[in-house]
C-alpha cells in the first residue's frame, strides 16, 4: 500500500534544506559542551570508542527509522504514530510513545536553554576582553560568578527561549536554512582554528591520547554497562537528536524522492566530526592549564576562554566562537519544541504562533528548576561512578538522555522493525530488498534493542543478581 500524504505544516524546499535543518538540530551544545564534559567525567578514550560504536550501530539505524515514520505519517509525532499504528493494525496505545517524546522534549529544552544562556553571557564576557591573559583560577571564578547568580541565569534563559519561540512561530523552514548554510561551516572552520591552537600547546599529545586511547586499567575498575555504555549511548541519542520525535517531525517535511539513508549518514558524519573536533580542541587546553578533565558542565566555559586569552586575536575568535555556538544551540532548540507545537496546531486548533508561545512558556517555566540547580537548590549525588553536583539539572539530564531517549528509541525500533509490515518499510526506505535494507533491518530488529535492553537490565541490577560485578 503506497501512501501519499502531505503535511499541513509545509515541506522543505529541497533535500539539502532537510539535511541542513537536521544537521542544525543535531549539531549543538551536545557536541561542543556535553560531549567533552562527559568524556572527561568518564575517563576519555574508552568512552569515545563506545560512543562511536553507539552512533554507528544504534544511532544511525534509529535515525533512519524515525525519518521513515515521519515521512510516512507527515504529522506531529503523536499523530504520525497513531496513524501508522492504525494503518498497520496495531494498538492505538502506540501514540503514547509520541507523548513520551513531547515530554522528553520539554525537559531537555528547559535545561538546554539555560546552558545556551551561558553561551549568550560568554559572548559579552569574551567580547569585552575579560579573558585576556586569564589563568585557570580567574577563568573558573568568572564561571562560578555566572552560575551562582540565579537572576543572571534567568535573564539569559528567558532571552534564549524567546529567540527559540520567534523562529518556531514562523515555521522552522523559513529563515533557518540561511542560518544553517553559513553559520555551520563557519563554526566548523572556527573549530579548526581552535584545533590549530591546541596543537601549539605543550600537552597536545596528552590530550589526543586521553581522547583516543582507551585506558584499560581504568576500565577494569569500572562497570562497563553502567559507567561507560550507558552514558555513551545516552550521548549518541542526545547528539543525534533521536528518540523523542525531533528528527521525525523534520522527516515529515521531507520529499518522497529523497534518500533517507544518504541523508542520515551525511547528518551523522557531520555531527560526529564536530564532536571529535571539539574534543581535540579542548583536552590539550585542559591538560596544559592544569584543569580537571572531570570538571563537569563548566568544562568548556572554563577551558576555552583561557585559550582565547592567550592566542593572537583571541578576543575576536572567542567572541565569534560563542556567537556561533549560540547559533548552533538555537537551531537545535527549535527542533525540541517543534513536535509539541505541531500537535497543538493539529489537535487544539491553535495558530502556530499561539501554540509556540504556549509550548515555549512551559519549557521556560520548567527551566527555572535548572536555573536554581546551580545555586540555591544545588546538591550532589553519585551516578554511574561520577560525582554529579548540580542536583535537579543532572537528574533532568540523566532522566532524558539515559532513560527517555533510549527507551523512545527502543520502542521506535521495535515498532518499525517487528510490528510494521516489511513491505511498508521497504517502500518507505526506497532501498528495495537489498543488502543495505537488510543491514538496516538487522540493526533495528536486533542490535539496537539488544544494546538498550542490556543497559536497562543492568540499571535495575539484573546482572548483579546473576553474580556479575
Ligand atoms: N542534538 C542537539 C545537540 O547536540 C540537542 C537536541 C536537539 C536534541 N533536538 C533534540 C537532543 C532531540 C535530543 C532529542 O545539541
Lowest mean pLDDT, pick from 94-103, 108-117, 222-231: 222-231
Atom 2, ligand 1: residue with shortest CA distance: 26
> What is the structure's pLDDT at 216?
82
pLDDT in tens, 325-334: 999 999 999 9
Dihedral pair phi/psi, residue 386, rounded to 5°: -120, 140
State which of 66, 238, 408 you would mutate to test the pocket of ligand 1, scoring each by most atoms of that ligand within 8 A of its C-beta. Answer: 238
Atom 9, ligand 1: residue with shortest CA distance: 241
Ligand 1 close to Cβ of residue 248 (< 6 A): no
What is the rounded distance in angstroms from the CA atom of residue 441 to the CA atom of residue 429?
A: 11
- In this predicted structure, the answer to whether residue 422 has a pLDDT above a threshold of 60 is yes
Which atom of ligand 1 approaches the CA of 332 most closely?
7
Measured CA distances, 375 to 301, 389, 393, 413, 453 (Å): 17, 10, 11, 39, 36
For the entire predicted model, the pTM comes to: 0.95
Name 386's bridge partners. Answer: 383
Where is 37: in which H helix or E strand?
helix 35-41
CA of 196 to the centre of ligand 1 (A): 27
Atom 8, ligand 1: residue with shortest CA distance: 241
- In this predicted structure, the answer to whether residue 146 has a pLDDT above a threshold of 60 is yes
CA angle 113, 117, 119 (to 5 degrees): 120
Q: In the 8-state DSSP scheme, what is residue 430?
A: T
Ligand 1 close to Cβ of residue 239 (< 6 A): yes
Contact between 131 and 139 (Cβ < 8 Å): yes
**What is the pLDDT averaged over residues 128-149?**
96
- In this predicted structure, the answer to whether residue 184 has a pLDDT above a threshold of 90 is no
Ligand 1 close to Cβ of residue 331 (< 6 A): no
Residue predicted with more confidence, 112 or 219:
112
State which of 239, 240, 248, 401 you would mutate to test the pocket of ligand 1, scoring each by most atoms of that ligand within 8 A of its C-beta. Answer: 239
**What is the pLDDT averaged over residues 88-100?**
97
> What is the structure's pLDDT at 410?
97
pLDDT in tens, 187-210: 899 999 999 999 999 999 999 999
> What is the structure's pLDDT at 172?
74
pLDDT in tens, 224-282: 888 889 999 999 999 999 999 999 999 999 999 999 999 999 999 999 999 999 999 99
CA of 62 to the centre of ligand 1 (A): 14
CA of 200 to the centre of ligand 1 (A): 32
Ligand 1 close to Cβ of residue 26 (< 6 A): yes
Give the three cell numbers for residue 77.
Answer: 509525532
- In this predicted structure, the answer to whether residue 1 has a pLDDT above a threshold of 60 is no
Atom 4, ligand 1: residue with shortest CA distance: 30
CA of 396 to the centre of ligand 1 (A): 14
**What is the pLDDT averaged over residues 213-229?**
84
% of the chain beyond a pLDDT of 70: 97
Cell 576555552 sits on residue? 304
Looking at 128-242, list the stretches that DSSP marks H as alpha helix, in order from N- to C-terminal side: 136-147, 150-169, 176-200, 204-212, 216-221, 230-240
Ligand 1 close to Cβ of residue 100 (< 6 A): no
Dihedral pair phi/psi, residue 361, rounded to 5°: -65, -40
**CB within 8 A of 93, min separation 6: which ones?**
none
CA of 328 to the centre of ligand 1 (A): 10
What is the rounded distance in angstroms from the CA atom of residue 207 to the CA atom of residue 211?
A: 6
Three-class DSSP category at 130: coil
CA of 223 to the centre of ligand 1 (A): 27
> What is the structure's pLDDT at 414?
97
pLDDT in tens, 343-400: 999 999 999 999 999 999 999 999 999 999 999 999 999 988 889 999 999 999 999 9
Ligand 1 close to Cβ of residue 108 (< 6 A): yes
Lowest mean pLDDT, pick from 100-104, 117-121, 188-192, 226-230: 226-230
Cα pseudo-dihedral 293, 298, 301, 302, rounded to 10: -50
What is the rounded distance in angstroms from the CA atom of residue 18 to the CA atom of residue 6?
A: 16
> What is the structure's pLDDT at 176?
67
Name 382's bridge partners. Answer: 387
pLDDT in tens, 30-82: 999 999 999 999 989 999 999 999 999 999 999 999 999 999 999 999 999 99
State which of 25, 32, 330 you would mutate to test the pocket of ligand 1, scoring each by most atoms of that ligand within 8 A of its C-beta. Answer: 25
Ligand 1 close to Cβ of residue 360 (< 6 A): no
> What is the structure's pLDDT at 2?
63
Band (13; pLDDT cuts 50, 70, 90): confident
Give the three cell numbers for residue 20.
Answer: 541542513
Where is 272: in which H helix or E strand?
helix 260-288
Amino acid at each position: 500500500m503506497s501512501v501519499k500524504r502531505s503535511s499541513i505544516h509545509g515541506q522543505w524546499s529541497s533535500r539539502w534544506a532537510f539535511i541542513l535543518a537536521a544537521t542544525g538540530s543535531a549539531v549543538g551544545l551536545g557536541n561542543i559542551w556535553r560531549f567533552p564534559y562527559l568524556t572527561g567525567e568518564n575517563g576519555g578514550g574508552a568512552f569515545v570508542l563506545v560512543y562511536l560504536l553507539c552512533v554507528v550501530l544504534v544511532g544511525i539505524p534509529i535515525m533512519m527509522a524515525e525519518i521513515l515514520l515521519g515521512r510516512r505519517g507527515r504529522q506531529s509525532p503523536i499523530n504520525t504514530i497513531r496513524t501508522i499504528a492504525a494503518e498497520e493494525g496495531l494498538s492505538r496505545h502506540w501514540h503514547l510513545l509520541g507523548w513520551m517524546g513531547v515530554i522528553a522534549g520539554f525537559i531537555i529544552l528547559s535545561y538546554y536553554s539555560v546552558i545556551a544562556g551561558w553561551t549568550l553571557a560568554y559572548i559579552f564576557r569574551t567580547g569585552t576582553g575579560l579573558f585576556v591573559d586569564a589563568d585557570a583560577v580567574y577563568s573558573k571564578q568568572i564561571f562560578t560568578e555566572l552560575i551562582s547568580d540565579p537572576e543572571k541565569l534567568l535573564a539569559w534563559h528567558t532571552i534564549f527561549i524567546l529567540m527559540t519561540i520567534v523562529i518556531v512561530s514562523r515555521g522552522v523552514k523559513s529563515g533557518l536554512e540561511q542560518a544553517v548554510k553559513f553559520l555551520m561551516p563557519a563554526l566548523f572552520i572556527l573549530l579548526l582554528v581552535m584545533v590549530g591552537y591546541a596543537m601549539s600547546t605543550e600537552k597536545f599529545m596528552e590530550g589526543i591520547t586521553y581522547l583516543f586511547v582507551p585506558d584499560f586499567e581504568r576500565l577494569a575498575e569500572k562497570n562497563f554497562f553502567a559507567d561507560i555504555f550507558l552514558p555513551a549511548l545516552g550521548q549518541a541519542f542526545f547528539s543525534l537528536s533521536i528518540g523523542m520525535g525531533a528528527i521525525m517531525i523534520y522527516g515529515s517535511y521531507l520529499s518522497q524522492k529523497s534518500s533517507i539513508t544518504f541523508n542520515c549518514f551525511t547528518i551523522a558524519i557531520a555531527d560526529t566530526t564536530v564532536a571529535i573536533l571539539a574534543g581535540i580542541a579542548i583536552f590539550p587546553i585542559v591538560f596544559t592549564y592544569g584543569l580537571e578533565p572531570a570538571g563537569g558542565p563548566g568544562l568548556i566555559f572554563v577551558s576555552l576562554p583561557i585559550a582565547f586569552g592567550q592566542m593572537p586575536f583571541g578576543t575576536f575568535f572567542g567572541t565569534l566562537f560563542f556567537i556561533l555556538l549560540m547559533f548552533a544551540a538555537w537551531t537545535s532548540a527549535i527542533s525540541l519544541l517543534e513536535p509539541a507545537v505541531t500537535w497543538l496546531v493539529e489537535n487544539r486548533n491553535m495558530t502556530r504562533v499561539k501554540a509556540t508561545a504556549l509550548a515555549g512558556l512551559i519549557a521556560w517555566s520548567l527551566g527555572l528548576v535548572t536555573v536554581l540547580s546551580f545555586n540555591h537548590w544545588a546538591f550532589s549525588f553519585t551516578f554511574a561512578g561520577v560525582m554529579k553536583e548540580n542536583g535537579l539539572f543532572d537528574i533532568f539530564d540523566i532522566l532524558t538522555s539515559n532513560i527517555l531517549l533510549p527507551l523512545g528509541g527502543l520502542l521506535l525500533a521495535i515498532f518499525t522493525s517487528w510490528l510494521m509490515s516489511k513491505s511498508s518499510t521497504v517502500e518507505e526506505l526506497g532501498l528495495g530488498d537489498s543488502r543495505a535494507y537488510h543491514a538496516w533491518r538487522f540493526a533495528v530488529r536486533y542490535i539496537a534493542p539488544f544494546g538498550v535492553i542490556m543497559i536497562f537490565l543492568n540499571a535495575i541490577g539484573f546482572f548483579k543478581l546473576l553474580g556479575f560485578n
